[in-house]
Amino acid sequence: MVPCDISMSNLSAALQDVNLLYLDGYSHEMALSVGKQADLMKIPILVDAEPERTKTELEHLLDLSSYIVCSGKFPEKWTSISCIPSALLEILVQYPRARFVIATLGENGCMMLERIEDDSGIDAVDIGNVAESLRLKVHKDDNLPTCVSSKFMRLSGRGHGTIHGRLLIGTAEKIPAPELVDTTGCGDAFIGAVLYGLCTEMAPEKMLPFACQVAGIKCRAIGARTGLPWRSDA
């Protein structure tokens, strides 16, 4: 589709009962048109920032984003900062409307930087040091996904800005080799679970292990959808 395929009145009607919009940069002109209308209607937007997308395809969507999810390759590609925590901070500095950014890290789980609005003048703490201290708190013997979180604080990185927020690290499920069948679609499964978590108002400490668990369950069957879990009342 292209923007001229649908009138603004029809688009507004289509978005009338929408509580959350998901965009991934494909058909970026249409995605941007939908995103702008959703923004006018105060609908939060989650952007899946894939490293394959170009700046042209993503930058204006990210300007509108309420939430950003990306793979582990994206932060460095977008910011030229090799340290993932610092790159995530730079992304939130660049896009001040985003409430959080999550990077998926495969078998290493995920990392989330959450922003809160705070104008306190406390000194900033280096986010790289915060990440290292959190990694020491991860329970490496747990087979199921877990989450550790820093306190809310002012954070600085290798860029020029700071934010007030907290860093969270989520671990992946340890899947026995005989059960690991196919990782196709794991990232989409993770994002789907994040969308569900947002719609059900899950706290990040619960949402990250939930999303990692869904992604892990998906790995136990061939294809992107076959292994996905379903709600029993769905």
Q: Is the pLDDT of residue 121 over 70?
A: no
* Cα separations in angstroms, 114 against 101, 106, 169: 7, 20, 11
Total-model pTM: 0.93
Beta bridge partners of 100: 67, 114
pLDDT computed for residue 26 by the predictor? 84
Type and span of the H or E element at 127? helix 127-137
Nearest one of 130, 117, 104 to 214, comparing CA atoms: 104
Q: What whole-number distance in Å separates Cα of residue 3 and Cα of residue 171?
A: 40
Span 173-228, pLDDT tens digits: 999 999 999 999 899 999 999 999 999 999 999 999 999 999 999 999 998 888 88
* Cα separations in angstroms, 200 against 19, 41, 204, 207: 11, 20, 11, 10
Span 129-188, pLDDT tens digits: 999 999 999 988 889 999 999 999 999 988 778 999 999 999 999 999 999 999 998 999
3-class secondary structure per residue, 57-125: HHHHHHHHCCEEEEECCHHHHHHCCCCHHHHHHHHHHHCCCCCEEEEECHHHCEEEEEECCCCCCCCCE
Compute CA 97 distance to the chain's CA centroid, rounded to the nearest angstrom: 14
What residues does each domain of the chain span?
A: 3-175
Higher pLDDT, 78 or 139: 78
Percent of the chain scored above 90 by pLDDT?
76
pLDDT computed for residue 205 by the predictor? 96
Confidence band of 59 (pLDDT split at 50, 70, 90): very high
